[in-house]
Structures are given as structure tokens and as C-alpha cells.
Amino acid sequence: MRELIKSKLVKDSIMIVLVALILSSYTNTREEQKPQVKVVERVISEQVPELEFSEENLKSFMEQINMKFIHIVMAQAQVESGYFTSKIFMENHNMFGMKQARQRQTVAVGTNRNHAKYLNWQDCVIDYALYQARYLSKVKSDEDYYTYLKGSYAGDPDYINKVKKLAEKFKNN
């Protein structure tokens, strides 16, 4: 029971932070965002107990924060991070190949190897949820999601095929 309450508290805390970030991103200028992002980093670090990385923990965390299209996002994480072995993932805790956000709220703590750097892998997932909220809020189907990714996310011409193939495995689990 204690774990259930703790899990609900963490989920509720994350959702409050995400909603606050999303709402504030529509009213803030770039100059005003920096101090708010620092506050968010502290709040998230205090509210989310850091978990050891595993695909099971990744999927569970995505479910806790109500990530959209988890099967596709899990596949993206594998493709982007070289199955969680890339230097960007190992050094930056960045499993999505995300660059430092400039037009939206972020929980990244800086840049390394020309990619966003996070305190832990969970912050990377939260940042991707912020990305989804900002750019993918109108996406309603898998095909819409793939269409968006094809036009805006990756440079590899075979990226969508790679993600689709992996996503089908996650969709059935």
C-alpha cells in the first residue's frame, strides 16, 4: 500500500510539473524560461526517485506519466540510442537524440556532444513528454505520429521503417 501511495504521489507530482510547464510555455518569452527551467529541475529531482535504467523501468515510467504512443517512443529510444549503448545515452542520459530545446520548456541541464544533457534517464523521458505536449498534441493515430516523425524528427531515410518494426513488438507486449 505504501508503494502504491508513493507511486501515485510521484505520478501526481510529475503531472503537476508537466502541466505547469506546458501552460507557462505559451506565455513566456525565451528570456523568462531559463529561471523557471531551473526551478523545474529542482522540483523533478526532489520528487522522482532515481531508478536504475532498464527497459522495464523505462516502460513503467512512461506509463506512470501517461506518455502518448509508448510503443513508438520505446522503439525510438532503442533506435536513437543504439539499443541504449551510445555515448550520447551513456554520458547525457539522452535516449532520444534530443538537442537542447530552444522554443519550449525543458528539463535538460546543458549540452554535451551537441545534444541535450540530463541529470538522469527519467528527466530525458520527462523532456520527451514535454516535446510531445508542445509538438504532437494533435496527433491521434500511429500513422499521424509516423508522419510527424518523418517530416520533423530524423534525418535517416529508413528511420520510420526501423521504428515501425520495433514498435510493433512493443505494441503487442
Give me the CATH topology for the region 2-171.
Lysozyme (1.10.530)
pLDDT at 32: 43
pLDDT at 43: 52
How much is the pTM?
A: 0.75
Of 5-9, 70-74, 118-122, 145-149, the range with the lowest mean pLDDT is: 5-9
**Would you list the domain boundaries of the chain?**
2-171
DSSP secondary structure of the chain: -HHHHHHHHHHHHHHHHHHHHHHHHTT--HHHHHHHHHHHHHHHHHHS------HHHHHHHHHHTT-SSHHHHHHHHHHHHTTTTSHHHHHH--SS-PPPPSSS-----EEETTEEE-SSHHHHHHHHHHHHHHH-TT--SHHHHHHHHHHHT---TTHHHHHHHHHHHHHT-
